[in-house]
Structures are given as structure tokens and as C-alpha cells.
Amino acid sequence: MQRDSLDDLRALVAVARERSFTKAAAKLGVSQSTLSETIRELEERLGVRLLSRTTRSVSPTAAGERLLQTAGPRIEEIEAELATIRELRDKPAGTIRITAGDHAARSILWPKVAKLLSKYPDINVEILVDNALIDIVDERYDAGVRHGEQVAKDMIAVRIGPDVRYAVVGAGSYFAKRAIPKSPQDLISHKCINQRISTHSGLWAWEFERGGRELKVRVEGQLVFNDIFQILDAALAGFGLAYVPEDLALPHIAKGRLRRVLADWCPAWSAYHLY
């Protein structure tokens, strides 16, 4: 079949529907003579008359009716699909897969995505929570959310939130039996709630800084989680000290559920970035 046969079939369908070359030509945006020539060339290629013409009307022949019954619905499906595709030029649509850490997903990403979904109903979002550093190309993600210093230098990244400061906190019931730590080294004698991050090959070391001095402390305790919210819950229950994002701890500190220590040792981390 020649390249322009689809347009010829579309022309045939239009004439058969309108029962008029004049009306069909107007609908297709072509001249009546051009449309007549298109149908004539189609009939010549097929070697059969498709339309019966009189001075008052146009109607399909038996061969034309058979072709219309077969090709007509398919032409309609193609036109409908093309119309749908054209609509995509004017509005965002499709599915986007994003990997994000638990804190970033809840505090930064989800509030923004929630607004996006209501504005763009044709967008689908898949958020997978993982605190490990993911190769978004290898794992077939469209984007990731991590702290700025964790993003590879060759990635395009956009800041999507403020700097994140961490806090060391414990419940009153925990401190009722233990002394307040005055320095990061004092944490060695405390029960601490650890976090496991797979890309760090083990437990995450707590990071501190003061006066240009940086320290990493490997703490110990009875509990290990890979979810920051479980760590916070365990601290609230008095099972040990936790090292969590400040924004998660502050509401509980304000209500007296948690006590903050080593505040002058806890630096601000770079903001979350979408990369």
C-alpha cells in the first residue's frame, strides 16, 4: 500500500459519512476538486468503483461498503489516538518514578507531589522509599531525592528544601537513669538507636562538628532500624538516644516528650535536592 493510502481512506470515509463531496471537502479542509481526484485515484489503484455518484447524492457501492465496514472503525480508532497524542503537547501526562529517603519523602517530596497530582490528573507518581544511594539510571528511576552532598557530581540537581539540621534526643524516662552527654565521645557509654543504610556497608556513624572539628561516632545499643520514623518512636518510648532530623524532634521537644543534647555539636546538612 502506498504511503498516502491512509489519507485516501480517510477521504473515502468522510465522503461516505457526509453523502456529499462538498460537505466532506469542507470538513477535511480541501477543495472539492482535490477530494474528487483523491477518490478517483484510490478507485483506480484498487481497480473497483467505491462510490456511486449522482447529481444529488453520493453512496458507497457494495465494494465501497465492504471497505468502509473494515477500514472505517480502524480509521476512527487511529484518529482518536492521534487526537489523544496531540493533547499530550498541551498538558503533562505519564508516570514518573522517584526514589527518596524516608524523611525526604514525607517532609519534602510528598507535600509537593500532593499539590502536583490535583493540578495534573494525568500524571502518575511512583515514590519508592530507600535511604540507600540508588543508581537511578541502572534502577530505571526518573529522579531521586537526597542531600546535596550525596548527589553525584555529574547529575543535574535542583534544591527543593532548606538545609537539614540533625538533633540528638532522648526521652525523660531514659535520662532519669543516665547522665547527660557533654560531648560526642560520651555517647559510647549510652544506649543509642542505630540506623542501617545498605550503601554504607553497615550502621550509620553519627556525624558531629564544632569549631571546624569533625567527629564520627560509632554508637551502640539494642536497636537497629532502617527507618527514621521507627528510630524516633523508639526514642520516645525510652529505648535510647536517637539522631534524627531536627524538624521531626522539635514538636516532641516542645511538649516535653524528648530532651535535646549536644545541640552545639550538630551541624546543618545540605538541603535535599531532586536529581
Residue 109 β-bridge partners: none
| Start-to-end C-alpha separation, the chain | 47
pTM, two decimals, is 0.66
- Over its C-alpha atoms, the chain yields an Rg (Å, rounded) of 34
Name the segment(s) of the chain with CATH classification 1.10.10.10.
5-87
The Cα-based distances of 269 to 103, 191, 201, 220, 262 in angstroms read 13, 24, 21, 23, 16
Nine-digit cell at 19?
453523502
pLDDT recorded at residue 3? 43
- Which of residues 124 and 3 earns the better pLDDT score? 124
Q: Tally DSSP H helices, then E strands, for the chain.
A: 9, 16
pLDDT recorded at residue 17? 81
119-125-129 Cα angle (round to 5):
130
Give the number of other Cβ atoms within 10 Å of residue 124's Cβ.
12
Q: At what angle do helices 21-28 and 5-18 cross, to 10 degrees?
A: 130
* Residues 240/193, Cβ–Cβ less than 8 Å: yes
Write down the architecture of domain 94-159 according to CATH.
3-Layer(aba) Sandwich (3.40)
pLDDT recorded at residue 2? 47
User: Which CATH number is 164-270's, of 3.30.1330.180, 3.40.50.2000, 3.40.50.2300, 3.40.190.290?
Assistant: 3.40.190.290
pLDDT recorded at residue 251? 97
Nine-digit cell at 84?
489523544
* Residues 18/24, Cβ–Cβ less than 8 Å: yes
How, if at all, do strands 268-269 and 164-171 pair? antiparallel
pLDDT recorded at residue 228? 95
264 band by pLDDT with thresholds 50, 70 and 90:
very high
- Which of residues 3 and 165 earns the better pLDDT score? 165
Most confident of the following: 9-23, 88-102, 155-169, 187-201: 155-169
Place of cell 557509654: 189
pLDDT over 80 at 5, yes or no: no
Measured distance CA(244)–CA(275) in Å, rounded: 23
pLDDT over 80 at 82, yes or no: no
Residues with Cβ < 8 Å from 71, sequence gap 6 or more?
9, 12, 13
Name the segment(s) of the chain with CATH classification 3.40.190.290.
164-270
Q: Over the chain, what is the mean pLDDT? A: 88
Nine-digit cell at 218?
560509632
pLDDT over 80 at 90, yes or no: no
Q: At what angle do helices 21-28 and 32-46 cross, to 10 degrees?
A: 100
- Statement: 5-87 belongs to CATH 1.10.10.10: yes
pLDDT over 70 at 88, yes or no: no
Place of cell 534524627: 244
Over residues 37-54, mean pLDDT: 84
Name the segment(s) of the chain with CATH classification 3.40.190.10.
94-159
Which of helix, strand or coil describes residue 61?
coil
Place of cell 552545639: 264
